[in-house]
Chain A
Amino acid sequence: GIQVEQSPPDLILQEGANSTLRCNFSDSVNNLQWFHQNPWGQLINLFYIPSGTKQNGRLSATTVATERYSLLYISSSQTTDSGVYFCAVGGGWGKLQFGAGTQVVVTP
């Protein structure tokens, strides 16, 4: 199966700081999603981005499919951004393979 590696595993930020999370994957993909898992366990969709660049408010993402990586940018971080961020990829119409996640803590 497709291998997914996320870095860094942990990230501590001061409120207002910017950060970049990375997702490397081992094979070509048709599906790539970024999620934020809140403290209650709910996975919240951030982006569907198998290629290209998207922005949504303070968050943006870029996937370079030919080089098999994706980046998630968080700008002007807020305490509500705390949680685990997952990258998940799929090789076709079906299951997602998740990375191990990046635990983000934003301090006031």
Chain B
Amino acid sequence: ETGVTQTPRHLVMGMTNKKSLKCEQHLGHNAMYWYKQSAKKPLELMFVYSLEERVENNSVPSRFSPECPNSSHLFLHLHTLQPEDSALYLCASSQKVSPTLAGGPSYEQYFGPGTRLTVT
């Protein structure tokens, strides 16, 4: 049990559907993250939230819409996706985001099991 849960674990959707991915962390953390893992590509960051405020959007298309209603929950709303969006979507949390200067204290990220998304 990692303390970070994701639902659903598997999702198949058509290109015209609207669906949402959910992440919940039970660790009392203040920062949450969405990552995407495509076949044959390294894991890449999508969004970062700190205390429910988005602090990073890594040039993600608008068909992905994140929502963080509180520090324990993070959603990824999906609409009009493309087949190339099929991937494993991973949620993570950490106590805080890293401070301004490298070399200062930093915080370990804990990952959920992921949602395997297939867009048909």
Same complex:
no
List residues of A whose CB falls within 8 A of some B CB.
Answer: none
